[in-house]
Amino acid sequence: MSFVEYSEFIQEGDVAIIFLGHDSMMPVKVQQGAQTQTRYGVIRHSKDLIGQRFGTKVTCSKGGWVYVLHPTPELWTLNLPHRTQILYTTDIANITMMLELKPGSVVCESGTGSGSLSHAILRTIAPTGHLHTVEFHQQRAEKAAEEFREHRVGHLVTVRNQDVCKEGFGVTGVADAVFLDIPSPWEAVKHAKNAMKRQGGRVCSFSPCIEQVQKTVEALANEGFQEISTLEVLLRVHDVRSITLPLPDFGSDQPLETPTDTPVPSNASVLCKTTTPPRDMAGHTGYLTFATKPSV
């Protein structure tokens, strides 16, 4: 198992995602002799996981069952321990495409945060690309580095514990793409430009507040970036439902024998397969600003 390569069978040391049903999942670190408690009972790693195929159904001690899934960056995003607010798949998907990431891309990212986007980037740039990720919080930087190692992607990433606004990304002239998710991205624009290849590249800044966006766009324009564009994306989920709608009873068009009697209501109804929106939805995550560094 690795986050950048599929494998068929579960092995010790793997991270697996236990699927409990209906949006309920949990990550587990597979270890000989270990056990995992779920509401359906106990999962014994040695017996139930190691050597099994990813995707199989595992029956737990109480008789209930779960599925064991191969980890992907998308599943990880939904299950990772939050050390900061994270980016979700909808934004990640657009960032990946708009930054033109692909195998071999060299990417600079700050801040690393909880590693949600980092894992998605690593999956996309493997096996020949590299991610330089900067996190100014020491414990978060260490935790991220540890997770990358456990997820067998350590060879594709370098974590640096420093302040990107003051010291940059630690590399110059190598990046195809730069991503900023920090409080003051306009202070890092110059460093982003330096980190990028001389022949050009793409940059993205993610900010929750419009004031941040305005300052960042100004800084990008001043540094000569082109194709500056700001957008936001939201995902709408449609819950599939079978609904039964009763039909009104307008009565018979023949006169009733005794008009004063209340007629027996008919139970006629119609079954519809349709979707309904959930009660709430994510209304805002952040604004995404993209730009191109022109070739010099």
Partner 1 sequence: MADNGDNDSQHRVNEGDYVVLKRGDIYKAVQIQKKKKTVFEKQWFFLDNAVGELYGTTFEVVTGGILQPRKPKCVESSADAKEAGMDNRNILDDGKSQKLTRDDIETLKEQGLKGQEIVQQLIENSTTFRDKTEFAQEKYIKKKKKKYENSVMVLRPSCRVLAMMYHGREPGKICHLRYDTLAQMLTLGNIHAGSKVLVFETCAGLVLGAVMERMGGYGSVVQMYPGGGPVRAGMESFGFPSRFHDTLHEFPICHVNALLAGALDTEAKDIDAGGQEKKVKMEEKRKKLAAAAAVLEGRNADGLVIASRFHPCPVLLGLIKFLAPSRPFVVYSQYKEPLIECYTKLREQGGAVSLRLTDSWIRHYQVLPNRTHPVLLMSGGGGYLLSGTTVAADTPKMGPTRGEEPPPKRLKLTETTEG
Q: How far is the CB of 239 from partner 1 (least distance, A)?
A: 8
Q: Which is nearer to partner 1, 162 or 230 (CB)?
A: 230
Q: How far is the CB of 39 from partner 1 (least distance, A)?
A: 12
Residue 249 is labelled as binding a ligand: no
Residue 115 is labelled as binding a ligand: yes
Residue 247 is labelled as binding a ligand: no
Residue 74 is labelled as binding a ligand: no
Burial bucket for residue 195 (CB in 10 Å: 0-12, 13-18, 19+):
buried
Residue 114 is labelled as binding a ligand: yes
Residue type, 191: H
Q: How far is the CB of 75 from partner 1 (least distance, A)?
A: 8
Q: Which is nearer to partner 1, 126 or 134 (CB)?
A: 126
Burial bucket for residue 30 (CB in 10 Å: 0-12, 13-18, 19+):
buried
For helices 116-125 and 89-98, angle between their N-to-C axes, nearest 10 degrees: 40
Quick one: tokens of 14? 């793997």
Q: Which is nearer to partner 1, 6 or 13 (CB)?
A: 6
| Pair 181, 117: CB distance under 8 Å | yes
Quick one: tokens of 153? 């992607």
Q: How far is the CB of 12 from partner 1 (least distance, A)?
A: 18
Name which of 165, 166, 164, 107 is nearest 141 in CA terms.
164
Residue 239 is labelled as binding a ligand: no
Q: Which is nearer to partner 1, 13 or 103 (CB)?
A: 103
Tell me the CA end-to-end span of the chain in Å, nearest whole number. 42
Q: Which is nearer to partner 1, 55 or 183 (CB)?
A: 55
Q: DSSP H helical segments within 23-99, as ranges?
A: 73-79, 89-98
Q: How far is the CB of 211 from partner 1 (least distance, A)?
A: 9
Residue type, 215: K
Binding-site sequence positions for S-adenosyl-L-methionine: 114-117, 135, 163, 181
